[in-house]
Structure 1
Amino acid sequence: MATITGPLSGDAKNKVADVLQGALVDLVDLSLIAKQAHWNLIGSHFRPIHLQLDEVTELARSHTDTIAERIVALGANPDGRAATIAKSTKLSQPEAGWLEDGKVVATMTDILDGISKRMYERIQATEETDKVSQDLLIAVAQDIDKQHWMFQAQR
């Protein structure tokens, strides 16, 4: 069986792959949560929040692919399976049913805040081992921080 080798090996490869896997889990679950809220949103601010949730979904999906492909380029295997996401996620889950716009804004603000904090930890964790992965995480943090600000401003 053929395997993929990358620029890192041993502990460095494993450490960076673990950091990126955590980012992958956050991003996959963020895309699912944003879509769930998008479908079930109600309230007087429906339209702008509905559209913003699509933006969050798109940024999460875009970064998910980039992060997963970086894991592969390092010679490791990304795991985006539903069971893996369900058991590994740190994101709070929205309630089932209709979601009032104010509750969605509060929930998304909190979720994005948590992801942002973890991204900054991941940026620090990759500073010495892999500047390329660090750059990818910085790009994720930039987009997450922007969405966090936009949701926070609606509180």
Structure 2
Amino acid sequence: MTVVKSTLPDDARRVAGDALQQTLVDLLGLSLVGKQAHWSIVGPRFRSIHLQLDEVVDSARAFSDTVAERAAAIGVAPDGRPETIAASFSLGGPKVGWVRDSEVVQVIVDALESAIRRLRERIETTEKADPVTQDLLIAITADLEKQRWMFDAENYPHEEGDEG
């Protein structure tokens, strides 16, 4: 049942709605991964990474609201229930317990890379179906790529003697 009438044709609404729902799950899950890492990080870079994690969480939460509202605007009821996130989230997260700062950085880089890869796939699928949704996904991708770069730079050099 569609309560909110969409301005999109049914097929386009389905494509955009699926992309938005999958993105909502990724963003809500990413915010939980970030908060878990924020609470369990230990190590000499605790404070700076602890604060940087809040930036990722805040960004993911703000974008999740925008994504859910876009879905509602095109007549698709967003589903951000805990059981939906738990059943659908697949980006990975930190282990249980205290986690070293370097491990936290890698967990976040990996989660962001997965989210970005998935967003880029959705950008392609929404190109013709709904350029407005595509534009939103592009903006989210740009922000997450910036966050990934900032975290990836935390562990430079990645290997002993790697300076180039």
Shorter-chain TM-score: what band?
Answer: over 0.9
Partners of 1:112 and 1:99 in 2: CA distance:
18
What's the counterpart of residue 116 of structure 1? 116
What secondary structure does 1:117 align onto? helix
Partners of 2:80 and 2:66 in 1: CA distance:
13
Partners of 1:113 and 1:85 in 2: CA distance:
19
What's the counterpart of residue 125 of structure 1? 125
Structure 1 residues 81-116: Cα deviation after superposition (integer angstroms, max 9, x where no partner): 111001111111211111110100111111101111
Percent of residue pairs identical: 50
- The answer to whether residue 149 in structure 2 is matched with residue 149 in structure 1 is yes
Partners of 1:11 and 1:73 in 2: CA distance:
16
What's the counterpart of residue 68 of structure 2? 68
Taking structure 1 as reference, are residues 2 and 26 closer, same or farther at Cα in structure 2, changes over 3 Å only?
closer
**Count, aligned residues:** 155
Taking structure 1 as reference, are residues 149 and 75 closer, same or farther at Cα in structure 2, changes over 3 Å only?
same
Taking structure 1 as reference, are residues 98 and 12 closer, same or farther at Cα in structure 2, changes over 3 Å only?
same
TM-score under structure 1 length normalisation? 0.97
What's the counterpart of residue 38 of structure 1? 38
What's the counterpart of residue 51 of structure 1? 51
Partners of 1:93 and 1:47 in 2: CA distance:
20
**Bigger-Rg structure (1/2):** 2
Partners of 2:93 and 2:85 in 1: CA distance:
12
What's the counterpart of residue 83 of structure 1? 83
Structure 2 residue runs of 5 or longer lacking an equivalent are 156-164
Matches within 5 A, 1:10-29: 10-29=10-29
Partners of 1:121 and 1:129 in 2: CA distance:
13
CA-atom RMSD in angstroms: 1.2
What secondary structure does 1:153 align onto? helix
What's the counterpart of residue 98 of structure 1? 98
TM-score under structure 2 length normalisation? 0.91
Structure 1 residue runs of 5 or longer lacking an equivalent are none
Deviation at 1:2, TM superposition (A): 8.2
